[in-house]
Amino acid sequence: MLKKGAIFGRFQVIHLKQMEYILAAKMRCSKLYIGISHPDIISFAATSSLDVHGVRKRDNPLTFYERYEMLLIAMEEFGVKREEYEIVPFPISQPDLLLQYAPHDAIYYMNVSTPWDAERLHILEGLGLKTEVLWRKSNMERGITGSAVRSIIAEDGEWEQFVPKGVCSYMKEYKIDHRIQILNRFADEDEQ
């Protein structure tokens, strides 16, 4: 088993498909670094035209700290010991800063489904980092996404089944579901 591995995502509502990705990576290493990309969309705004979700508040309703806490909750719920992972900022949109936050000697695990995924893989390889693609799937094959979960929440649908139970409780306790609905309502009004 490899010593260090790393994965990353926006985790703008951590969902069960993301947990599948995290746990698949964790099975391959003793210590997993979980990077939260776009730790804030002002300081680490999207710089690629392919990064369509890295610029708008409605696509990034959760703070870095909320995502950090939800990852802690989800990892505990899935039985991963705290000493087996770290959670770090991961400014993929600013590659020159990336190695100030993430280890240079880890294997970076990825899923590739979109052109943005392919560009992120290219960014990591351009930094000389070791990468391993866990899955290559079409956009249709990849299953539920954070965008889809946020859309279901925005429409006041049944979203709870797509997220870990602890994440669901956290979101309801801190009224994050209501925040998502409000952000979408205002965004829809602005677009009209």
Position 186 scores a pLDDT of 74
Does residue 189 register a pLDDT over 60? no
Q: What is the average pLDDT across 148-156?
A: 96
Does residue 191 register a pLDDT over 70? no
Does residue 78 register a pLDDT over 50? yes
Fold (topology level) of 2-191: Rossmann fold (3.40.50)
Position 50 scores a pLDDT of 62
| 3-class secondary structure per residue, the chain | CEEEEEEEECCCCCCHHHHHHHHHHHCCEEEEEEEEECCCCCCCCCCCCCCCCCCCHHHCCCCHHHHHHHHHHHHHHCCCCHHHEEEEEECCCCHHHHCCCCCCCCEEEEEECCHHHHHHHHHHHHCCCEEEEEEECCCCCCCCCHHHHHHHHHCCCCCHHHCCHHHHHHHHHCCHHHHHHHHHHHHHHHHC
Position 41 scores a pLDDT of 67
User: What are the structural domain ranges in the chain?
Assistant: 2-191
Over the stretch 104-132, which tens digit does the pLDDT of each residue have?
A: 999 999 999 999 899 999 999 999 999 99
Contact between residue 134 and residue 110 where contact means Cβ atoms under 8 Å apart = yes
Percent of the chain with pLDDT over 90: 77
Q: What is the average pLDDT across 148-172?
A: 97
Does residue 192 register a pLDDT over 50? no
Q: How far from 73 is each of 78, 115, 154, CA to CA, in Å? A: 9, 31, 23
Percent of the chain with pLDDT over 70: 88
